[in-house]
Amino acid sequence: MLKEENIALANYRIEKAKACLKASKILLDDECYSDSANRSYYAIFHAINALNALDDVGFKKHSGVMSNFNQKYIKTDIFEKEYGKIANSAFEIRKDNDYADFYVVSKNEVIEQHESAVKFVDRINKHINNEIKKASE
């Protein structure tokens, strides 16, 4: 049985993910590629954390969030492997973008990452809505 506070937190985190997608698109259109890539990653991150809210789990590190997503949702085929690849790629780009000296993300990478993030957030949002609906029946 899902708790009301977990549902509220999941919905809040999905809204954060959608706000990050909006920011990513604005930054992409303004040719701020590094910042757009960052916002796309965080859209994915917040969407995964919305799942974690429903599961009533939390992690202190981004790597823990990603590892749990891969273990619980990708390896068990709840989500298609493509979504694991999207999340892992965004995580790696974000790490390189934030921490590697002289790393420059390309326009094409950012466009692809933004489009993948939109697809990812939409898929997670649908899953969460289905889980909430099933729990209320």
Query: What is the reported pTM?
Result: 0.96
Residue 87 one-letter amino acid: A
pLDDT score of 88: 96
Q: What is the pLDDT of residues 64-114, one digit of tens each?
A: 999 999 999 999 999 999 999 999 999 999 999 989 999 999 999 999 999
Phi, psi at 129, each rounded to 5°: -60, -40
- Amino acid letter, residue 46: H
- Residues, the chain, total? 137
Is pLDDT at 52 greater than 90 in this prediction? yes
If pLDDT is split at 50, 70 and 90, which confidence band does 50 have?
Answer: very high
